[in-house]
Amino acid sequence: MASEPTTVTITGGGGQIGYALMFRIAAGDMLGPDRPVRLRLLEIPQGMRAAEGAALELQDCAFPLLREVDVTDDPLTAFNGTRIAMLVGARPRAAGMERGDLLAANAGIFGPQGKAIGAVADGDVRVVVVGNPANTNALVAAASAAPDIPADRFSALTRLDHNRAVGQLAEVLDVTPDEIADVVIWGNHSATQFPDVSHAILPDASSILDALAERLGGEAAAAAWLDDVFIPRVAGRGAEIIEVRGSSSVASAANAAIDHVRDEQLGSHRGMTSAAVVSRGEYGVPEGLVCSFPVTSRGDGHGYRVIEGLRFDDRARARFSASVDELVAERDAVRALGVL
Ligand SMILES: NC(=O)c1ccc[n+]([C@@H]2O[C@H](COP(=O)([O-])OP(=O)(O)OC[C@H]3O[C@@H](n4cnc5c(N)ncnc54)[C@H](O)[C@@H]3O)[C@@H](O)[C@H]2O)c1
């Protein structure tokens, strides 16, 4: 067993997703059964007691891999030497808040946190942003950590959208989720995202589109289901959960964040997955935007790489472009605030 623990920082450690994350990380679900962890929980003063209480519970689990838990409201302490930073704490949209207000409030969180990561984190830190608006928060954090930390160490979570898409397909095709490969979420983690199944396959490499046509009574019926049911349901799943559960997605979001980091660190062994990473101009996406792409990781320390060369038809291209346009508008809004 490796003896030197990996430092993992969770911001919003007193919140719901933070609570769902920390026990699974401490149990080894994220970094594997032989990598001890040191957890750092960052909170604002109002959230400190909740995070401290969670830390007591962590101790009571007596997890063999958990070496230490620190709770702090100081970003420089929280990110000191951190290898994996999971930025969950964010400012939620309050009643009457315009999108620009939301972006500004969160830039006020993710700017200073990015700066602190640049100042004190491990030089090989990996950062995943969960707190919304996740893509643009990651853009702000990456810009604020520069030049100390390369921007490609920052990513944002679209794995929850990816897993939701897989879950929907598994249900309609009556297969298990692990039989579905190569689904892609393109664009922003928002209602404009484009969940794309046109490259997706079953274990025998047969096309999911063909399987849907067979199941739903022809190509036209499959296309209608994708347009009218699947895409709106995946993109609107967060709202559906709030309506049914009375509260936003928590365990599924934490699960997706664990999947995101685990695949990035240990390798994505099941073909492509989805993550929002810093664009290098792939698929015509403006450089620097944090955009969801098909990605893969070999688990060799180089992080996620974008899988290039997938083809779009005109309708798919239009959907993806609309989501990229939204990312451009968000970037321009934070630029106008003088943040970038
Ligand atoms: N990307 C995704 O797929 C996805 C999915 C679900 C939720 N989310 C987002 O995750 C975020 C957290 O959700 P939640 O349910 O845990 O919310 P929550 O309100 O339960 O917890 C958020 C916690 O963050 C803390 N916090 C606020 N500002 C902070 C700061 N500057 N530093 C450290 N901590 C801070 C709060 O005190 C609170 O304890 C929200 O923005 C939510 O929209 C993203």
**6-156 adopts what CATH topology?**
Rossmann fold (3.40.50)
CB 6 within 8 A of CB 262: no
Q: What is the pLDDT of residue 100?
A: 85
Q: Give the mean model confidence (pLDDT) for residues 229-241.
A: 96
Ligand 1 pocket by Cβ (under 6 Å): 11-12, 14-18, 42-44, 46-47, 88-90, 92, 109, 130-132, 134, 157, 160, 189, 248-250, 253
Q: What is the pTM of this model?
A: 0.97
What is the per-residue pLDDT across 91-135, written as a single tens digit (0 to 9) for each? 988 888 888 889 999 999 999 999 999 999 999 999 999 999 999
Q: Which residue carries 């997955």 as its tokens? A: 273
Q: What is the pLDDT of residue 2?
A: 52
Q: What is the pLDDT of residue 93?
A: 84
Q: How far apart are CA 18 and CA 254, in angstroms?
A: 7
**45 pLDDT above the threshold of 80:** yes
Q: What is the pLDDT of residue 95?
A: 82
What is the per-residue pLDDT across 175-214, written as a single tens digit (0 to 9) for each? 999 999 999 999 999 999 999 999 999 999 999 999 999 9
Residue ranges covered by each domain of the chain: 6-156, 159-334
Q: What is the CATH number of domain 159-334?
A: 3.90.110.10
pLDDT band at 340 (very low <50, low <70, confident <90, very high): confident
The sign one gets for the Cα dihedral 174, 237, 157, 277 is positive
Testing ligand 1's pocket by substitution, the residue of 10, 87, 132, 258 carrying the most ligand atoms inside 8 A of its CB is 132
**240 pLDDT above the threshold of 90:** yes
Ligand 1: which residue has its CA nearest to atom 9?
A: 131
Ligand 1: which residue has its CA nearest to atom 40?
A: 131
What spacing in Å lies between the alpha carbon of 290 and ligand 1's midpoint?
Answer: 19
Round the average pLDDT of the chain to a whole number and report it. Answer: 96
What is the per-residue pLDDT across 248-263, written as a single tens digit (0 to 9) for each? 999 999 999 999 999 9
Known catalytic residue at 260: no
Given strand 154-156, what is the order of strands in its sheet? 66-72, 37-42, 6-11, 84-87, 126-129, 154-156, 273-278, 290-296, 305-306
Residue from 189, 199, 260, 302 carrying the catalytic annotation? 189
**1 pLDDT above the threshold of 60:** no
Ligand 1: which residue has its CA nearest to atom 1?
A: 130
**88 three-state secondary structure:** coil
Output the CA–CA distances (angstroms, integers) from residue 67 to 8, 52, 71, 78, in the order listed.
11, 16, 14, 16
pLDDT band at 3 (very low <50, low <70, confident <90, very high): confident
What is the per-residue pLDDT across 129-173, written as a single tens digit (0 to 9) for each? 999 999 999 999 999 999 999 999 999 999 999 999 999 999 999
**DSSP line for 296-309:** E--SSSS--EEPP-
Q: What is the pLDDT of residue 339?
A: 82
Q: Which residues contact 158 (CB under 8 A, 6 or more apart)?
A: 134, 185, 189, 193, 274, 275, 276, 292
